[in-house]
Structure 1
Amino acid sequence: MKSLQRMALAGLTTLLLLSPAWGSDDQKKVVLSLDDCIRDALATAPELGESQSDIDYSTSRLDEAKAYRYPRIDFLGLIGPVPQARGNQVWSPDGVNDTNRWTWFQRGDATLTQPLYTFGKISENMKAATHGIEVDRAKKEQRRNEVALQVKEYYYGLLLARELKEVILDVREDLDKARKKAKEYLEKGSTNVDDLDIYKLDAFSGEVDKYLEEAKKGEALALAALKSRTGFPAETSLDIATERLTPDEGPVAELPVYLEEAQAKRPEYRQIKEGLVARQALVDAAKAEYYPDVFIAGYLSGAYADKRSRIDNPFVADEFNHLWAGVALGLKWKLDFGITGAKVAGEQAQYNRLLSTKSYAETNIPLQIKKAYLEMKEAEKSIPATEEAYTNAKKWVVAALANFDFGIGPAKEIFEGLQNYARMRASYFQSVYNYKMALANLDYAVGQAPLEKR
Structure 2
Amino acid sequence: MKIFRTLLLTSALLVHAVVISATEIPSEKKMLLSLDDCIRMALKTAPELGEAQADIDLTASKLGEAQAYRYPRFEMTALLGPAPGARREDFLRTDKEFAFKELTWFAGTDATLIQPLYTFGKISENMKAATHGIEVDRSRKEQRSHEIALKVQEYYYGLLLAREMKELVLEVQETLDKAREKARKLIDQGSDSADELDIYKLDAFTGEVSKYREEALKGEALALAALKTRLGLPIDTPLDITSQRLFTVDVEAPPFEALVQKANERRPEFHQIAEGLKARSALVEAAKANYYPDIFLGALLSWAYAEDRDRIHNPYISDQFKHLSGGVALGARWKLDFGITGAKVAAEQAQYNRLLSTRDYANANIPLQVRKFYLELKEAENSIAATKSAYTNSKKWAVTALANFDFGVGPAKEIFEALQAYARMRGAYFQSIYNYRIAWANLDYATAESLQSLAK
Normalising by the residue count of structure 2, what TM-score does the alignment of the two structures yield? 0.91
Residue equivalent to 1:444: 445
TM-score, with structure 1 as normaliser: 0.91
Per the alignment, do residues 88 and 201 of structure 1 end up closer, same or farther by CA in structure 2, a change over 3 Å counting?
farther
What is the deviation of 1:95? 3.6
Amino acid in the other structure paired with 1:351: Y
What's 2:84 paired with?
Answer: 83
Residue in structure 2 matched with residue 370 of structure 1 by the alignment: 371
Cα distance change, pair 449–397 in 1 and its aligned pair in 2 (3 A):
closer
Matches within 5 A, 1:237-276: 237-276=238-277
Structural mapping, 1:5-404, within 5 Å: 28-87=29-88, 90-91=91-92, 95=96, 97-404=98-405
Paired with 1:285 and 1:92, the residues of 2 have a C-alpha distance of: 57
CA distance in 1, matches of 2:349, 2:106: 52
CA contact (8 A) 1:86 1:92 kept: no
Structure 1 range deviating more: 357-366 or 284-293: 357-366
* 1:328 alignment partner, SS class: strand
Measured after TM superposition, the shift of residue 443 of structure 1 is 1.1
Q: In the aligned structure 1, how far is the partner of 2:390 from the partner of 2:256?
A: 29
Contact 2:150 2:450 in 1 (8 A): no
Q: 1:32-64: per-residue Cα shift (whole Å, max 9, x none)?
A: 000000000000000100000000000000000
Contact 1:85 1:92 in 2 (8 A): no
Rate the CA distance shift 1:96–1:144 in 2: closer, same or farther, 3 A: farther
Check the 8 A contact 2:296/2:332 in 1, yes or no.
Answer: yes
Identity percentage over the alignment? 63
User: CA offset at residue 186 of structure 1?
Assistant: 3.2
Q: How many residues align?
A: 430
CA distance in 2, matches of 1:119, 1:279: 17
Amino acid at match of 1:365: I
Residues 76 and 110 of structure 2 are in contact (CA less than 8 Å); yes or no, is this contact kept in structure 1?
yes
**What is the CA–CA distance in structure 2 between the aligned matches of 1:94 and 1:294, rounded to whole Å?**
47
CA contact (8 A) 2:194 2:408 kept: no
Note if contact 1:88-1:311 (Cα within 8 Å) is conserved in structure 2.
no
Unmatched 5+ stretches in structure 2 = 1-25
Contact 2:153 2:438 in 1 (8 A): yes
- What is the CA distance between 1:161 and its match in structure 2? 0.4
User: Residue 31 and residue 316 in structure 1: after superposition, are their counterparts in 2 closer, same or farther (change >3 A)?
Assistant: same
Does the aligned pair in 1 maintain the 2:441–2:450 contact within 8 Å? no
CA root-mean-square deviation: 1.8
Deviation by residue 1:126-172 (Cα, 9 ceiling, x = unmatched): 01000000000011001101111110010000000001101110110
SS at match of 2:270: helix
Q: What is the match of residue 430 of structure 1?
A: 431
After TM superposition, which residue ranges in structure 1, 4 or more long, deviate above 6 angstroms? none
Gap change, CA 1:306 and 1:236, over 3 Å in 2: same
Equivalent pair of 1:111/1:298 in contact (CA under 8 Å): yes
- The 1-side partners of 2:124 and 2:60 are apart by 15
Q: Residues 249 and 223 from structure 1, CA distance in 2 versus in 1: closer, same or farther, beyond 3 angstroms?
A: farther
Counterpart of 1:131, as a letter, is: H
Q: Compare 35-44 and 317-326 and name the one that shifted more.
A: 317-326
* Runs of 5+ consecutive residues of structure 1 not aligned to the other structure: 1-24
Q: 1:183 to 1:277 in 2, by over 3 A?
A: same
Tell me how far 1:94 sits from its aligned partner. 8.4
- Aligned to 1:113, the other structure's residue is in SS state strand
Provide the rounded CA distance (Å) in 2 between the counterparts of 1:436 and 1:364: 23
> Which residue matches 1:21?
none
Contact kept in structure 1, 2:27 and 2:237, CA below 8 Å: no
Write the distance in 2 (CA, Å) between the matches of 1:254 and 1:294.
Answer: 59
Render the CA deviation track for 1:79-114: whole Å, top value 9, x for unaligned.
Answer: 111111111684369847554421111111111111
